Structures are given as C-alpha cells and as structure tokens.
A and B are shown apart, each in its own frame.
Chain A
Amino acid sequence: MLEPMVKTEIVGLRSTLDSTMACLQRCASVQLLDASSELGLKPAPQAVDEGELGESARLRHLRTRLDALISLGVVPEIPDDRFPVEARLDQVAAELDQLAPAVEPLVTRIDDLEAERSTLPRHVESLRRLAPLVPRLPELEAYETVAILVERRHAAVIGWVRDELAALLDTHFEVISDQVDSDTVGAVLVFPRDRSRRVHALLAERQVSRVHLPDEYRNMSLTSAITSMEQRIADLPVEIEATRAELWELLSFRTHWHAARDNVDRRLAQLDALHNIGTTERAFAAIGWVPQRHLDELADALRSDVVGEVLLTTREAAPDEPVPILLTNPGPARPFELFVGMLALPRYGTFDPTVLMAIVMPFFFGLMLGDIAYGLILFGLTTWVRRRWGSRSAVVADLSRVLSIGAVWAVIWGVVFGEVLGDLGHRLIGLEPLWIDRQEAIGPLLLLAVGIGAAHIFLGLGLGMWNALRTSDRHLLGERAALLVALSALFAMAGVAAERLPRGVMTPSVVAVVVALAVLIALEWPLGLVMGPLDLIGAISNVLSYLRIAAIGLASVFLARVANELGAAAPLALGIVIAALFHSLNLVLGTFSPTIQALRLHYVEFFDKFYEPGGEPFAPFGASLAAEPEVAAPAPVLIETD
C-alpha cells in the first residue's frame, strides 16, 4: 500500500535553524520542498551570510583531501565506540596541512614505483623477443642500438628501413632482422652514435615505431638492459612496501578521519538543504512531506532537540501537487516492491499492486516450474544465497525471498502434476499426479492457463473500474466495464460452443458483446470505430497470452524427460552425470524463464488494466547518510587554513 503523506510546515526563530536542521537530518523523515519560492521568502544561504557559502566550499575541499588520504588504505576504520566522534573539523584540517609535506612525496613515490612495476615487464618482454637477433653483439661505445617490432604483414618496412639507412649512412650500419614470433618481425639497427639524430629523424618522419626504453636503460646493451630490468622487477615490491610502511607510520593512527568525513558529509547535506529553507530577518520556514505515521515522532524530536520555539503544522496540498511515494507493505510482500519499482512507482492516490503481485507472481512461477525436486533444490539454494549474501545486498535478499516463495509453489504444483525431476518420480516410485498429468493432458493444461489468465485480466479490469470510480473518471469506467462485459460474454459463448453451458445463454451473450462493442466505439467516437474493436481484440490476446504458463511448463517437463531418457540410455555412472547436467540446465532455465514470464504477465497484461505510474520515490533529508554517531558532534567549526 501507499503510505499516506502529510504536507507539513516547520516555522522557528533563525537562532534555532541549525539545531532544527540537525534534528530533521537525524529523523530522516521529511522530504524538503522549496519553501522560499512557495512562501515568497528569501532562500537561507543568501539570507544567512557569505560565511555559510565559504564554509560549504571549504568543507568540500576538506572532503576531497580526506577522501584522497583514506583511499590510500592505510587509515583503519575503527568503530566509533573506540574513537567517538569528537574530532573538530578545524583540527583535522590543521592535521592535513601539517602532514601534507611529508605525505605527498611518499604518495608520489608509491605511484611512480607502481607505474614502474606495471611497465617494466612489458619492456622485458619486448627485449626478450629481440634478444635472439643479437646473441653476440658487442657493447660498442661509439654505436647506438635501436629496436623495431612490426606486425608480420608489414615486414616489408624493415627492407625499406635498410635501404633508407644505406642511403643515409653508406655502409656504416647494421640491420639484423628475423621473425620473433608467429605475428611479429623484429629488427635491431646498429649505427654510429654521432648519426643518431638523423637516424631518429628519419624513423620519426617515416612513422616507424621504435621500442622505447626508460632513460636509465637507454645506453645499455640488450642483454644488460634485460638483466637490469629483471633485477629491478625483483626489487620493486620491497621498495613499495618500505614506502608504504613510512606512510603507515604517518597515517595509521588517524582513525578519527573516518568520523570526521562523516561529520563533513552531514554538515554539507545540511548546507545543501538550506537552499530549500525560506527565511526572514528573524525567522525561518521549512515545508516538506512527512509520512503520516512519523508525524508524531518528528514533533517529539523537534520538541526535545531544539532549544527554543519551533512550530510544526500541517498544510493543505494543492489538488494536482505531486506527492512522493513510500511503499509500505507487510513483510512477506515487501520483496515484491522491487518489481513494482522496476517498472515505475504508482501515482499517489492510486492502487499499489505489490500485495497482489506477491500472491500471484509466485503462483505463476510455481505453475510453470511445477516439480517437487526442482522446487526443493531451488528453495535450498535461495535460502543459502540469502544467508550468505543477503545482508550485503538488499536486492539479493529480495530476489532470493521471491524465488523461495516461488519454489514453495513449485513444490505444491509438483505434487499436483506428480513430477519429481520430470517423470523420474513416476519411473522410480510410481508417483501419480493428483490432478493433471502435464505430459499427457495438454488440452486441460491449456484450458487451465487460459482460465487463470481470464481471472487475472478480470481482476485487473475490476481494479481499473475501482480506480476510475475513485477518481470519478466516467470515460475510463465505461471502457473497463465494456471490456469486462464483452470478455465475459465471449467466454460464455465459448462455453456454449463447447456444450458446457445451455444454448439459451448464446443470445444474451451475443447481445452483450454487441452492446459492449458499441459502448467502446461511442466512448472514443469517431476514432472508436477503429480503437473500440482493437481494444476488444487486445483484451482477448491478453487472455491468450497466459498460454505461456502452459507452454513454459511443457518445455520444462519435456526437457526433464529428455534428461531422464539420456541418462537411462547410458551406463549407470555416466547416465547419472548426464542426467544431472541436463537437470541442472533445466533448473537454471526453469528459474530464469518463469520469473521473466511472470513479470511480463504482470507488467503487460495485468497492470495495463488499472496501473497508473508516475510516482516519484520519497527521498527524506538525511536518509542517504550513515547512522548518527553515538556521541553527538558539536556544531562543526572550520577555521580558514589556506
């Protein structure tokens, strides 16, 4: 259901603004609106003083510096009970200024060492590929060596380089080239050092890429460079750790920085929220949406936290004013809010389908999967996933709960269909279905699916009529009622054709269809001439769309049967492995596909009949911040340190 919201106004003396904002932030139950424009007052930051704006800029700067140091990973996060939040932000800023000259060179050094650690192996790799080309090349002081690696399809470049060097240097050079691996050809050019500039200019002009080495290795021979680099790679971890240890000594006991960062976040959120506060010379006013059930708690909190007079009153909302949406459903239905929110939140004052979805969606899921063993395995897996990862991710917890409920329905329908791993239960222990054998009685299964679809669509149309009545929308009411009557009459006609209803029902049914169609056409005249019949055809196709419940179920049971047949055809051990593989695949498909199809049946066929999207989620001031510290921080004071 949608939580009833109340529009409230909070008025107080300017001297109580800070404590009121802190209280609202702690309660996290008010979504602030722009009071300055609604009441025609000045916004708070402009009205207060420029110091507030300066404070915001300085806090953001402090936040960035704290983030940069904490992200180094050498400031342990100690719980607040050991280091209560009493760190004044001015002290923290002073600490940062004092430490900066010592910390910055260390951080730069670590960055450089890490960069070296990641690039050196690539250089060694390149040089190793070239090494076989020059096994006994002497270290010649007067000569320079340049290495080139080119893709094999561009090997002709090396011949061209040889020609160009001959033209430039006559015979005073050497080019040694060979294929260094399946895709690359390497070449080493040796030429007098005094011609270095001209050779490099030639290569650059012709866009020939050379193997670039760091400066300290540039004047070494190939083998010496490889040896030096390998030694350096071995030394780097030790050097990095030593530098980190120095950094650790400087920063490891600054555990209060985490609390300070939280403090900065709280204060910044307060300063941002001030934009919504309207002020006069002596007073302030805030307007916001509060969930009705939190109104008394908020009043009590203001009374106890704020020293001085603050008045909390409720305001009349404008008829078309958008109201934020807070879904509050009973515990078992709550995970399904995820699926409602995935589409779009309902508009305030309309129907929240979460509870209906919580009942019907797992029912559909179970009907499609419909197997005792699959249901039990899925229940076990989802329970394990929830216990293992549920506390870390709300989405994982919600999804696993939804699938657990679906798994229970799969077991129930598995009993109804008499299925354990497809027909394995029947083969091994002679298990018989309680009602429908899906593998044999396909016709009744299809009828069951259509019947369930009709009931679901009728429920949707009924809810649409209820919504239309609440909003006094006669047009919508007429359309939904006409569709309901037409569909009912068409089903009655089908019942007569199947000799399940008396023939006397046929005439009134035909009349009902004609009248309903006429109403649909009249409601949208003249467009209704096309749209009316289309709406009716659309509603029929919506009902037929529920055949997918039977189709997906049939695919699942036949795949399980294939797994059993293949398993039975092989020797016992191999057969068990094959059957287990196929059943695992079927379980994955049988979990994914029914979830998507059940969702689709809700989103497309069911919601279309009544659902009115367009709600914006409730976003209370203070909700995005961490819990309030155990020891309340004093109002933060930041001294100018720059």
Chain B
Amino acid sequence: MRNLKPNLLELVRRTSAELPDDVVNTIVSAATQEQEGSNAQYAMNIIQSNIDMAKLKSAPLCQDTGSILFFVRAPRGFDQLAFEKAAREAVAVATAKGYLRQNSVDSLTGKNTGNNLGPGSPAIHFHQHRGTRVDVRLILKGGGCENVGAQYSLPDVRLNANRDLDGVRKVILDAVIQAQGKGCGPGILGVCVGGDRATGYVHSKEQLLRTMDDVNPEPALAALEKDIVVSANKLGIGPMGFGGATTLLGCKIGALNRLPASYFVSISYMCWAYRRQGFVLNDSGKIVEWLY
C-alpha cells in the first residue's frame, strides 16, 4: 500500500496535537458549568488554552503521549505485516520529531528504548471485514488515566454490587470515586460488562472509539451511560479533583458474553486529553476520509 508510512506519521501527529471536534465541543460546554472564579473554572480555562495552543504549534497536547493503540479494520488479504512495519517506522519517526515522547521502557532493565518501539509497543488490533476500505484508528492514552482504570469481579461484597446492571452501576461509580482527580478529569469512561479479563479490557478501550454523541443501540446500556454521567457529576469531584460540577464528560458501555462463573466489569478511564483520530484509506492507499 503506497504512502502508508507518511499517512500513519500524519495520523500520529494529528492525534497527539489535536483533539477531535466532538471532544472539544463537550469540553467547551462543560467549562460553562463551573462557578465563576473557582479552581475548577481556572482548570477548565487552562485546558481550553492548551487545546488551542497544541493545535497551533502542532505539538503534543499532553507530554505523556501514552500507549499507542491502533485499531485497524481491513479487507481480507490485507498485508498485516506490512502495516505493522509501516506503523513501527512511523512511530519511530514521530518520536524523533517530538510528536511522541520517548515513552517505552523495558520492564526488566528499566531502560527506555528511546523510539517507542518494543514488545507491545505500538499495540495493533486487526479486524477483517468484507469491504474494500481500510479503516485505521489511533488512540493515545496516557499513563495517569490508564493507572486509574479498574476491573471488578461481581458480586462485590464491599460495594454490595450484585450481578445485574445496578451492580455494574455501583462499581463504575466506585471507580470514579477511586480515581478522584488522578486521571486528569473531567474524564470519559469506556466500560465493558462481561468477557474474560483480557477481552473485557480491550472491549472497554474499543468503546472509546465511539463519538461523544453516539447513542448506545442497546436501550438498557444507553440509559446506564446517561445515568453514570449525571450521577458522577453529582459527586462534586470536578476538573482535576479540585471540586466542581464536571467530573465526567461521557461514559460508553459495551457488553460481551461471559462464562456462567464470571462477571467482570472492566473500566478504562480516559483523561480530558482524549486523543483519538482515524482515517479511511481506499484500495490505492489514499486517505479518503478523516473519521473524527
């Protein structure tokens, strides 16, 4: 596929420096909810200046350029190995150019590889489909918010959370309480009900590919998503945990089947610096559409 490496480099640059419009609009609207002269309003004002400045300077919005997560949907016969090679090269160039921080550390030696390449980095999730287009999406997810993610196994005695949607609601709100301001709130939650421990977390991150205004086709989950945001915003944690009106900007919930013996709720917390972007390539490798 022609031009794949430069196209992926541009995807990384854009993802790191520019928030998608749906996220910016949600932040702008949330900022108006905070009290005049409050610490929360101060934080939201700086957040908005930062969004504008990063775009203008074409520089990383946040210095923690995060885990590099590619989600690729491609036709049968698509050369995944060639994609992986191009993605790795693009990531190394993006690091040298300063679009990405040197952010990949050998877990045994503690040595930073210096180019963001190593086992597990970048992470690429491939899915096949019957169309002809290649849909490439990228999420950059920083460590602060990744660290406050949580996985619960229901029933949870401490939280009086049973194996039903009310139990799911209780553990999600507990995760918000535990996170406080540490995940750079106001945040966005991606949640998966069910699955095994590994597929649950992956699916929770895939929820973060949905736009802010996307409505869940499953009515029970759509209602829960709405309720979580309203309830979390009554907790008073606020931007950065300074206290205030906006604790969550959004919540997206998916479900996978589970074993009769298991009932996991996997929660990925995304910070306000919600870096996701994507494009569609036609069969000659040309970008025909930006997705967000």
* Pairing of A with B: no
